[in-house]
A and B are shown apart, each in its own frame.
Chain A
Amino acid sequence: MGKQISIFVENKPGKVNKITGILEKAKINMKAMTIADSGSFGIIKLITDDNEKAFNIFREKNFLVSFQKVVVVEMPDKVGAFHKVAKILEDMDINIEDAYGFIMEEGEKAALILKVAESDIEKVEEILKKNNYRSIENFNV
């Protein structure tokens, strides 16, 4: 099981800059970022190479921050790779609430972050494992 960091931000200029600045200062490498917004506020979701450290720093700095359990799965960086994963989940009747990804090695490996209902996480990881997908716990290697 993987983790993403969610940070509450007001929808104002300079908010992303502030967060990336904090990561840089702490020498934490950001792997992926996505923003969900709802008009006047939003949530920034982050995957880093040291989620624990990042979480603690944001908490210290008085941010509204939390961990969310996600499935991080390694897949080939090629056409149709995500579709395959999505198909497996559809067959299991699993709803994907949120998904984003990033390339780990151009033309070789990509990481896919899947947010599913917490009660489904174990089931999803198991079925993906059966289909020869590797789940990534952390990127601190």
Chain B
Amino acid sequence: MFWAEKEETVSRDELRSIQTDRLGESVERAGKSPYYRKLYGKHNLKLSIKSLEDIRKFPFTTKDDLRASYPVGMMAVPMDNIVRMHASSGTTGKSTLVFHTIRDIENWSNLVARGLYSAGVRKSDVFQNMMSYGLFTGGLGLHYGAEKIGALVIPIGAGNTQKQIDFFNDMKTTVIHITPSYLLHLGYVLEEKGLAPSKSFSIKIAIMGAEPHSEATRKKLEEIFNIKVYNCYGLSEMNGPGVAFECACQKGLHLWEDHYLAEIINPETGEVLPEGEEGELVLTTLQREGMPIIRYRTKDITKFISGKCKCGRTHRRIARMKGRTDDMFIVKGVNIFPSQIETVLMETPEVDKNYMIVLDRKEGLDILSVQIEIKKDYFRGDLNQLKYLQENLREKLKHVILVTPVIELVEPGSLPSSTGKAQRVIDKRRL
């Protein structure tokens, strides 16, 4: 049972030849953007692609390169042909933007549809999309894919738990798209209301994305709700969700290789690793028009799973993301870098140089606490002064990281000093 049988079950040989052709086209298309035109010139790159290995001659593209190309430096078609923009938060102020043509949206929707279909989603399903809409790709990406399949889509977005529950009941929702932390929270809320999550609704499938989670968390959630939970991987630079998707076998995520060329590299040396070894995932768009990206370093750590999948799809599978090569962490589905928080703290004169970010989870909800010390010269012995500082920092940080933090004022000397490599993030959550 496939959404696009021919493409999904294409032989490996044929897939390789398709990839080679498309790679040639993609590097050529990318060359029409100011960024890649300059890059190709600088490295004197020959664009004739004869084999997939030729990609290794091209330098990597990083998040910093995207940021430096803000706003339209990587756009490869006239702006007139762009129909959609998405953005993801950056480490410093500026977002990174991604542009789509109408065909890009069509392709993206089809890839998501492939994944949803492989997990068992059908036209008769009621699909409640509990992921944020907006610049973030999670909401709209799955919305378009589920609509493509013909499911009834409820674009409710994240939050407003009571309303979510009302629709579960009234619309007999069968599929939800949700972050693992929100699904955990939902379990607590239902239990508090005296409802048994395993018996209460018609939900049979949860598509889980935006936050890395363990196999143990999946199993736990499947038990609590008596549903099947499938993992969905993506990143805005590569469209968003739907780059790789778990099929009903639940043994790794099929990465759609007719749209993405995947490499796994040693993050330190940049060298491509033998198949099956763990390293950083590097992706090249093969079909995108609006903003082709060559060898994008995702900073996500995974490996290829060898062997054929029982489902019949020939596209290689990647393992659940194991972590990151940088210090990014995810809270409530939002990517956050410690440096974003540090910048705000250091711009606040009352705050001393040591700080600590503590991530915890209460009743399934992520809590981000920032512990700070007050500079001695700023302390006036006034409680209101401290409360105002707390409030002010909370608002400033919320503006930058899009998550409301808890600001904890602690006594001088309670936090590890900044000499050497102090650990600034403690993650007490277990996902």
Contacts and interface: CB of A to CB of B under 8 A. Distances in A.
Question: Is B one of A's binding partners?
Answer: yes
Contact of B380 (A10, A45, A66): A66
B32 to A, nearest CB: 56
A8 B373 CA distance: 11
A48 interface: no
A99 interface: no
Given A8-B374, A10-B411, A38-B387, A64 B380 contact: no
Interface string B362-389: 0000000000011010011111001100
A59 B379 CA distance: 12
B381 A62 contact: no
A136 interface: no
16 contacts: A6-B380, A8-B379, A8-B386, A9-B411, A10-B409, A36-B383, A38-B383, A38-B387, A41-B410, A42-B383, A43-B381, A43-B386, A63-B412, A64-B374, A64-B376, A64-B411
- The interface centre, meaning the residue of A9, A10, A45 with most chain B CB atoms within 10 A of its CB, is A10
B408 interface: yes
A37 B384 CA distance: 10
Interface in A16-58: 36-38, 40-43, 45
Given A41-B386, A68-B380, A8 B409 contact: yes
B379 A62 contact: no
Interface of A: 4-10, 36-38, 40-43, 45, 59, 62-68
Contacts of B374: 8, 64
Contacts of A67: 381
A41 B409 contact: yes
Contacts of A63: 411-412
Contacts of A45: 381
Given A9-B411, A41-B410, 18 more contacts: A4-B381, A7-B381, A10-B411, A10-B414, A36-B383, A38-B383, A43-B383, A45-B381, A62-B412, A62-B413, A63-B411, A63-B412, A64-B373, A64-B374, A64-B379, A65-B379, A66-B379, A66-B380
Interface in B13-28: none
Contacts of A7: 381
A74 to B, nearest CB: 23
A115 B386 CA distance: 17
Given A38-B387, A62-B413, A6 B408 contact: no
A133 B373 CA distance: 41
A62 B412 CA distance: 6
Contacts of A8: 374, 379, 386, 409, 411
A80 B412 CA distance: 42
A43 B409 CA distance: 12
Contacts of B409: 8, 10, 40-41
A8 B378 CA distance: 12
A12 B342 CA distance: 26
A62 B374 CA distance: 12
Interface in B382-413: 382-383, 386-387, 408-413
Contacts of A59: 376
Nearest to B406: A40
